[in-house]
Amino acid sequence: MTIGIGLLGLGTVGAGVAEILATPEGRHPLVAELELRRVAVRDLQRPRTIRVPAELLSSDPAAVVDDPAVDIVVEVMGGLEPARSLILRAIAAGKPVVTANKAVIARHGEEISAAAAAAGVYVLLEAAVGGGIPIIEPLKQSLGANRIQRVSGIINGTTNYILSRMAAEGAEYAAVLADAQRLGYAEADPAADVQGADAADKIAILTGLAYGGSVPREAIPAEGIDQLDARDVTYADQLGFVVKLLAVSQRIETGTNGDPQLLDVRVHPTLLPRSHPLAGVNGVFNAILVEGEPVGQVMFYGPGAGAGPTASAVVADILNIAGIRQATGARAVDGEPPGIDPLLAAGSWRQCRLVDGARTTHRNYVRLRTTDQPGVIGRIGTCFGEAGVSIQSIVQFEADSEAAEIVVITHEVLESRFRQALDAIAALPEVQRVAACLRTL
Ligand code: NAP
Ligand code: HSE
């Protein structure tokens, strides 16, 4: 029995999906059962990289969702609206949805999940995080027995490409970004990538899966790489670290007696020791490190974006749904729902809340621009010491005739103490400015 696919979007990912559906040879036999029946685009006149019969194209995505020939709706158009409304429309019509849209899931995931559970339909989103890397299903299923302690990852390919080139070439951020845009590795509007919002969307989704309860997307602190100075990448290298845009979701307290779990979820440029499992992830590649009890550390690595890898994840979700439809076809014909994803049905099973940032502990990298005179390092050390901040290393780098650059790496310290020390240091007459402040693992 052929299954009708309605594609909302025929851009990078949509064209990748259409390509797989058009070339089933050598793939799973179920791919040959999938038939592209309608495709929504914004501009019907736009030249396409993939040939799709003109009669399948429509500029009305709601008509694609409503078409009785469409059994599964694949949302790869992006953005919040009309994507959210179209997903809900498909669910209301009893049609399973596959989406790659992390922005909509990170902000409206609970609403969508509740609607899907109530209607008894699947909403699968493997492609929304890590492109071609299977991470959603492993967190939902394969690692389900674990107490997850931390999920950390490099989950934005654009910024990892820029950071890798900054490290390899000592190049400035703006120059590498311009080159990445020219080569097609960064979008014309790279704001969501370089400011950390894309990674924050993705870590919000992983948090919900890892800990069984969502946190408000807007409350996740996200710092990007757009303010990063090439000299910090170079100094980090000289000190044995690499700089990566890390997304971290960590359980601070398990929350007993019905209290919510306390989580620390954030995105920021981070110094990783070269020996760290994520330190060798370069270019547009992504990797996610999951730490759980009893499994220990499990790392997922691969292409985090692009037409082929992302379509690979989208079509895998379609095949999951198609396989279940085939297995439960008799029940579906009887008018019963084909059965919903048991973990989706469970929805949120724990409450979560975000920790107050001042109560978190971190190692820190600080670069100070100071006058070059006797006693400056001593006074900086005193400020740290009086705030109870232990220094791991303090190094003076060559700057210019007007200033010295002093880089400090602290031991792990309570954020409030670190901020207290920084305020005192910034007030020292010899300190011209706190030029950079980065987290360190
Ligand atoms: P894209 O290249 O910009 O394609 C978007 C497609 O949706 C285009 O075909 C566009 O039509 C169509 N579209 C947009 N708004 C529409 C509307 N209101 N009505 C009808 N059609 C509309 O985007 P993409 O890179 O494929 O990304 C799609 C989704 O996948 C996004 O949620 C993105 O975050 C996610 N994703 C992308 C990647 C990746 O590597 N690109 C990886 C993982 C996840 P026109 O062609 O006529 O403009
Ligand atoms: N813009 C994203 C990235 C790809 O650079 O990783 C889509 O998730």
191 within domain boundaries? yes
Are 61 and 204 in a shared domain?
A: no
Stated pTM of the model: 0.95
Cα–Cα dist 345/362, whole Å? 37
Q: Which ligand is nearest to the CA of 161?
A: 2
Is the residue at 86 inside a domain?
yes
Alpha carbons 302 and 313: distance in angstroms, whole number? 12
User: Same structural domain for residues 123 and 166?
Assistant: no
> Looking at the CA of 81, which ligand is closest?
1
Q: What is the dihedral of CA 60, 62, 63, 65, to 10 degrees?
A: 130
Q: Is the CB of 201 under 6 A from ligand 2?
A: no
Tens-place pLDDT, residues 154-203:
999 999 999 999 999 999 999 999 999 998 888 889 999 999 999 999 99
For ligand 1, residues with CB inside 6 Å are: 9-14, 40-43, 46, 61, 76-78, 82, 100-102, 127, 131, 305-306, 310
Mean pLDDT within 20-29 = 98
Is the per-residue pLDDT at 343 higher than 80? no
Residue 321, pLDDT score: 95
Q: Whose CA is nearest to atom 8 of ligand 2?
A: 305
CA distance 253 to 255: 6
Q: Which of 95, 102, 202, 244 is catalytic?
A: 202
- List all residues 6 or more positions away from 325 whose beta carbon is below 8 Å from its beta carbon: 3, 71, 332, 338
Is residue 232 domain-shared with residue 154, that is, in the same domain?
Answer: yes
Give the pLDDT band (50/70/90) at residue 347: low
**Phi then psi for 118, rounded to 5 degrees?**
-65, -35
Q: Is residue 111 part of a domain?
A: yes
Quick check: 402 pLDDT over 90? no
| Domain of residue 44, CATH code | 3.40.50.720
Angstrom distance (rounded) from CA 221 to CA 265: 7
Q: Is residue 352 part of a domain?
A: no
What's residue 331's pLDDT? 43
For residue 419, give the H/E element and its range.
helix 415-426
Expressed as residue numbers, the domain containing 106 is 3-131+307-347
Instruction: Quote the CA–CA distance of 309 and 162 in Å, as a whole number.
Output: 20
> What does the buried/exposed string (b/e) look like for 264-296 if buried means 16 or more CB atoms within 10 Å of the residue's CB?
bbbbbbbbbeeebebbebbebbbbbbbbbeeee
C-alpha to C-alpha distance for 246 and 328, rounded to whole angstroms: 42
Q: Which residue has the higher pLDDT, 214 or 291?
A: 291
CA of 58, nearest ligand number: 1
Please indicate whether residue 317, judged by its CB atom, sits closer than 6 Å to ligand 2. Answer: no
Position 384 scores a pLDDT of: 98
End-to-end Cα separation, the chain, in angstroms = 53
Q: Would residue 202 show up in a list of annotated catalytic residues for this protein?
A: yes
Indicate whether 340 pLDDT > 70: no
Best of 12, 108, 187, 193 to mutate for ligand 1, by most ligand atoms within 8 A of CB?
12
Does 123 score more than 50 pLDDT? yes
Q: Is 176 strand, coil or helix?
A: helix
Residues 6+ apart with CB under 8 A from 210: 139, 148, 151, 249, 290
**In ligand 1, which atom is closest to the CA atom of 16?**
26
Do 19 and 111 have their domain in common? yes
User: How much distance in Å is there from the Cα of 257 to the middle of ligand 2?
Assistant: 39
* In a shared domain, residues 283 and 158: yes
* Number of other CB atoms surrounding residue 415 within 10 Å: 17
- Verify that 153 and 285 share a domain, yes or no: yes
Based on the fold, state whether residues 114 and 167 are members of the same structural domain. Answer: no
Predicted confidence (pLDDT) per residue in 227-258, tens digit: 999 999 999 999 999 999 999 999 999 888 88
Taking 70 as the threshold, does the pLDDT of residue 330 lie above it?
A: no
Query: In the chain, what percentage of residues exceed pLDDT 90?
Result: 88
d(CA 101, CA 75): 7
Which class for 373: exposed (0-12), middle (13-18), buried (19 or more C-beta within 10 A)? Answer: exposed
Mean pLDDT over 339-345 rounds to 46
Q: Which residue has the tokens 């996610």?
A: 288
Q: Does the structure show a pLDDT above 60 at 334? A: no
Report yes or no on 19 lying in a domain.
yes
From ligand 2's centre to the CA of 101, what distance in Å?
11
Report the CATH number at residue 424.
Answer: 3.30.70.260
Tell me which residue has its CA closest to atom 43 in ligand 1.
131
**pLDDT on residue 341:** 54
**Among 310, 314, 315, which residue has the most ligand 1 atoms within 8 Å of its CB, making it the best to mutate?**
310
* Nearest ligand for residue 283 CA: 2
Amino acid at 69: A
Q: How far apart are CA 173 and CA 180, in angstroms?
A: 10
Cα of 98 vs centre of ligand 1, distance in Å, is 14
- Sign of the CA dihedral running 324, 325, 329, 334: positive
- Does 68 or 372 have the greater pLDDT score? 68
**332: which residues sit within 8 A by CB, 6+ positions away?**
325, 338
200/241 same-domain check: yes
Minimal-distance CA residue to ligand 2 atom 2:
156
Ligand 1 centroid – CA 61 distance (Å): 13
185 with 88, same domain: the answer is no
SS3 209: helix
Nearest residue by C-alpha to atom 7 in ligand 2: 305
pLDDT higher than threshold 60 for residue 345: no
DSSP state of 402: T
Ligand 2 atom with the shortest distance to the CA of 161: 5
- Both 294 and 324 in one domain: the answer is no
Same domain, yes or no, for 327 and 219? no
Is residue 197 a part of any domain in this protein? yes
Ligand 2 and 232: CB distance under 6 A = no
187 CA closest ligand 2 atom index: 1
Cα-to-centroid distance, 224 and ligand 2 (Å):
14
**One domain, residues 171 and 230:** yes
Q: Model confidence over 37-90: pLDDT tens digits?
A: 999 999 999 999 999 999 999 999 999 999 999 999 999 999 999 999 999 999
Of 12, 156, 201, the residue with max ligand 2 atoms within 8 A of its CB, to mutate for a pocket test, comes to 156
In a domain, 256, yes or no: yes
Alpha-carbon span 205 to 165, nearest angstrom: 28
Provide the mean pLDDT of the chain: 93
- Quote the number of domains for the chain: 3
Has residue 180 been placed in a domain? yes
CA 219 – ligand 1 centroid, Å: 26
Residue 348 has pLDDT above 80, yes or no: no
Spacing, Cα 128 to ligand 2 middle (Å): 9
Assess whether pLDDT exceeds 90 at residue 336: no
